[in-house]
Amino acid sequence: MYQQVARVRHDGGMSRQPKYRQVADALRREIDNGTHPPGARLPSESELSERFEASRNTVRSGLGLLVSQGLVTSSQGLGYEVAKHEVFELNASRFENLNFEQNGDAYSTDVTNAGRRPHQTFRVEILPAPAAVAERLKAEPESRTVLRFCHRFVDDTPWSTQATYYPSWLIDEAPRLAEPGDIEEGTTRYLADRGIEQVGYFDEISTRMPTPDEARLLEVGAGVPVLLWMRTGYSAERPIRCTITTLRGDLNRMNYEIGDQSARGEGAPR
Amino acid sequence: MYQQVARVRHDGGMSRQPKYRQVADALRREIDNGTHPPGARLPSESELSERFEASRNTVRSGLGLLVSQGLVTSSQGLGYEVAKHEVFELNASRFENLNFEQNGDAYSTDVTNAGRRPHQTFRVEILPAPAAVAERLKAEPESRTVLRFCHRFVDDTPWSTQATYYPSWLIDEAPRLAEPGDIEEGTTRYLADRGIEQVGYFDEISTRMPTPDEARLLEVGAGVPVLLWMRTGYSAERPIRCTITTLRGDLNRMNYEIGDQSARGEGAPR
DNA sequence: TTGCTCAGCTTGTTGGTACAAGCTGATGCG
DNA sequence: CGCATCAGCTTGTACCAACAAGCTGAGCAA
């Protein structure tokens, strides 16, 4: 009963948006039109509270909306900052394609070409296949698989994780897959040299908010979705591997070149 | 000073997670392990408040986390409900590909085959090209383009929006593009019949949280990202169209079949 | 100069209260 | 029986207060 009269007087019957949304919308407009450029600090909660004639909690609700949409980030003691995105292009149709020679790791060469510094941690495990992987590899659920796991960084910021599962029958033909350590010539090339050629693949792409684990590995704040890319590779006879890549949605864009690209030219998109 | 002592006593020094996170984590675990199956209602805020010995505000913070991650939805008067996802597979490599006959609209046939009921609204506009589109069509910024816009539903829930831009030079060769109303045989077929064949395309895929406009059109709650799919189609000589599709991230998965798929078989993934 | 401490800013967490607004089922009137 | 109303549940919005915790720069001590 105590502030209700005041609120009605403030609104004056104009907007039917709740106040915390008005705050969010006003700030979003200011971000869009460049009043607050990427990287800039927003006014503090108490300043905004004064400007919008709202309590600090209400302003926080509005800012929370923007955070949950990935437009701004917040950190204790520092304030709110407008998020800036530099997206990295990932060419999925050249990836793992032996027609485009890229000795070894496609990711490293792509990143280096973009003038950034790549870095990755790597490990190999032997473990039962997760259900989704077993299904795609046409293997028994829980059957043994080799997991080659990669955690990738660009300029020391986490970029993506990549988990590739190989079915156990493949190890007999390509034993180095199960050994720790890199395969310098690239696993695709290594497999091809041993008579196992990836002649086709099936890509599935989806998006969702990160699990807490993913949020930790990729260091994404609230409001940044992840891009999930699942590739099942086939030889002429059967599936040979399944790769699950988790990409930070704010930093990555995937693309596919399909069919005749001669009319696209060089400087086209990007 | 008034509740600090009580809080310290409660924690007992065990977890260093704030209480609202503990609430969210506990509920997330219960959702994951099936205690609260998809579609079920969660206990009310006041019940949870009692169970976790936290104030309603604190419980709300925790529930807010889950909502912003898309795990649960809330509606006033009803309560919180565990979100359920039925994802729809969209085959991007067959889409607009004349080798796979699909008379007319690929979307309608796909949806009908899945046993669902498709429905769409449609409009045609002539307007200056947005910067991103002009760049991809190799047209002057602000040059005139025809926009064919489609808002798609499945069983009356909004599914995606699709905006296709055609450069103005194309209208002379294919005037029906600029007229309102469907093109029954499909625009790809219509263009091919008039000597304009799409021989290749360049797809770009990204994800982000929806803008307020998109959230309204797609009726997505907080915590559901959108999948952005931009396809630039080329004839042998030049770009002929640019399609921007916005998909609800919780309801869609895209896939590409590339290379030899003979080893994939039928019952493979899905 | 170097390095430490601390005041004073910031956001983060948690409690409290009050009222608006949406949904549902029971109740009772016509 | 049919329908309107309302009590009693739910979440939504908005305010207040207090304290925790992270960062920065001023200022003092070695």
In the chain, the amino acid numbered A218 is L
How high is the pLDDT of residue A100?
A: 58
Given the structure tokens 């383009």, which residue do they identify? B145
pLDDT, tens only, A101-134: 554 466 777 788 878 888 889 999 999 999 999 9
Find the mean pLDDT for residues A237-264: 93
Measured between CA atoms, how close is A188 to chain B, in angstroms? 15
Find the mean pLDDT for residues B224-237: 95
Q: Is the pLDDT of residue A14 over 80?
A: no
Contact between B238 and A264 under an 8 Å Cβ cutoff? The reply is no
Pick the closest to residue A85 from A76, A72, A75, A67 (CA basis).
A72
- Which has the minimum average pLDDT: A234-238, A259-263, B5-9, B100-104? B5-9
How high is the pLDDT of residue A12?
A: 37
- CA-CA-CA-CA torsion for A175, A163, A85, A29, nearest 10 degrees? 160
| A40 has a chain B CB within 8 A of its CB | no
pLDDT band, very low/low/confident/very high, at A223 (cuts 50, 70, 90): confident
Dig out the tokens for B192 from the structure.
């091919």
Query: Count of CB atoms within 10 A of residue A51's CB?
Result: 12
pLDDT, tens only, A32-48: 999 999 999 999 999 99
How high is the pLDDT of residue B99?
A: 62
| Nearest CB to B199; choose among A205, A249, A260 | A260
Angstrom distance (rounded) from CA B267 to CA B11: 51
Dig out the tokens for A66 from the structure.
């923007």
Q: Is the CB of B45 under 7 A from strand D?
A: yes
Higher pLDDT, A235 or B6: A235
Higher pLDDT, B158 or A97: B158
Contact assignment for B259 to A200 by CB distance below 8 Å = yes
pLDDT band, very low/low/confident/very high, at A6 (cuts 50, 70, 90): very low
Pick the closest to residue B96 from B194, B242, B227, B204 (CA basis).
B242
Angstrom distance (rounded) from CA B102 to CA B109: 7
How high is the pLDDT of residue B8?
A: 35
Interface of A with B in 219-238 (CB under 8 A): 222-223, 225-227, 232, 234-238
Find the mean pLDDT for residues B147-153: 92
Q: Is the pLDDT of residue A3 over 60?
A: no
Domain A88-264 has CATH 3.40.1190.20: no
- Which has the minimum average pLDDT: A226-235, B8-17, B222-231? B8-17
At residue A55's C-alpha, the angle toward residues A53 and A57, to 5°, is 140
Task: Identify the H or E element spanning B122.
Answer: strand B118-128
Q: Where in chain A is the domain with CATH 3.40.1410.10?
A: 88-264
Angstrom distance (rounded) from CA A93 to CA A205: 13
At residue B198's C-alpha, the angle toward residues B194 and B204, to 5°, is 145
DSSP string spanning B29-76? Answer: HHHHTTSS-TTPBPPPHHHHHHHTT--HHHHHHHHHHHHHTTSEEEET
Contact assignment for B253 to A70 by CB distance below 8 Å = no
Q: Is the pLDDT of residue A76 over 80?
A: yes
Q: Is the pLDDT of residue A243 over 80?
A: yes
Contact between A1 and A8 under an 8 Å Cβ cutoff? The reply is no
Higher pLDDT, B116 or B35: B35
Radius of gyration of chain B measured on its C-alpha atoms: 24
* Highest-scoring range by mean pLDDT, A131-140, B86-95, B168-177: A131-140
Q: Is the pLDDT of residue A4 over 70?
A: no
Angstrom distance (rounded) from CA A215 to CA B65: 13
| Nearest CB to B269; choose among A92, A204, A250 | A204
Angstrom distance (rounded) from CA B219 to CA A140: 40
How high is the pLDDT of residue A173?
A: 87
How high is the pLDDT of residue B11?
A: 37
How high is the pLDDT of residue B249?
A: 94
Domain B13-82 has CATH 3.40.50.720: no
Angstrom distance (rounded) from CA B27 to CA B33: 10
Dig out the tokens for A142 from the structure.
């829980």
As a whole number, the mean pLDDT across chain B is 85
| B268 has a chain A CB within 8 A of its CB | yes
pLDDT, tens only, B51-74: 999 999 999 999 999 999 999 999
pLDDT, tens only, B120-140: 899 999 999 999 999 999 999
Dig out the tokens for B87 from the structure.
């994802």
pLDDT band, very low/low/confident/very high, at B165 (cuts 50, 70, 90): very high
Find the mean pLDDT for residues B148-163: 90
Q: What are phi and psi of A78, to 5 degrees?
A: -105, -40
Pick the closest to residue B171 from B143, B130, B136 (CA basis).
B143
Angstrom distance (rounded) from CA A125 to CA A180: 8
DSSP string spanning A11-33? Answer: HTT---S-HHHHHHHHHHHHHHT
Q: Is the pLDDT of residue B102 over 70?
A: no
Angstrom distance (rounded) from CA B242 to CA A268: 13
Q: Is the CB of A113 under 7 A from strand D?
A: no
pLDDT, tens only, B182-195: 887 788 888 888 98
pTM: predicted TM-score of the whole model, two decimal places: 0.88
Q: Where in chain A is the domain with CATH 1.10.10.10?
A: 13-82
Higher pLDDT, B265 or A233: A233
Q: Is the pLDDT of residue A144 over 80?
A: yes
| A70 has a chain B CB within 8 A of its CB | yes
Query: B2: which nucleotide lies closest, measuring CA to C1'?
Result: D18
How high is the pLDDT of residue B94?
A: 81
Neighbour order of strands in the sheet with A118-128: A118-128, A144-154, A157-167, A239-248, A226-234, A200-208, B252-259, B88-91
Question: What Cα–Cα distance (Å) separates residue B130 from each residue in A20, A262, B138, B207, B219?
Answer: 31, 24, 12, 19, 24
Q: Is the pLDDT of residue B29 over 90?
A: yes
Given the structure tokens 């949020």, which residue do they identify? A215
Q: Is the pLDDT of residue A267 over 80?
A: no
Contacts of A60 (CB under 8 A, 6+ apart): A45
| A131 has a chain B CB within 8 A of its CB | no
pLDDT, tens only, A161-209: 999 999 999 988 888 988 888 887 788 888 888 988 899 999 999 999 9
Contact between A52 and A43 under an 8 Å Cβ cutoff? The reply is no
> What residue has its CA nearest to the C1' of D10?
B77
Higher pLDDT, B95 or B264: B264
Find the mean pLDDT for residues B209-217: 90
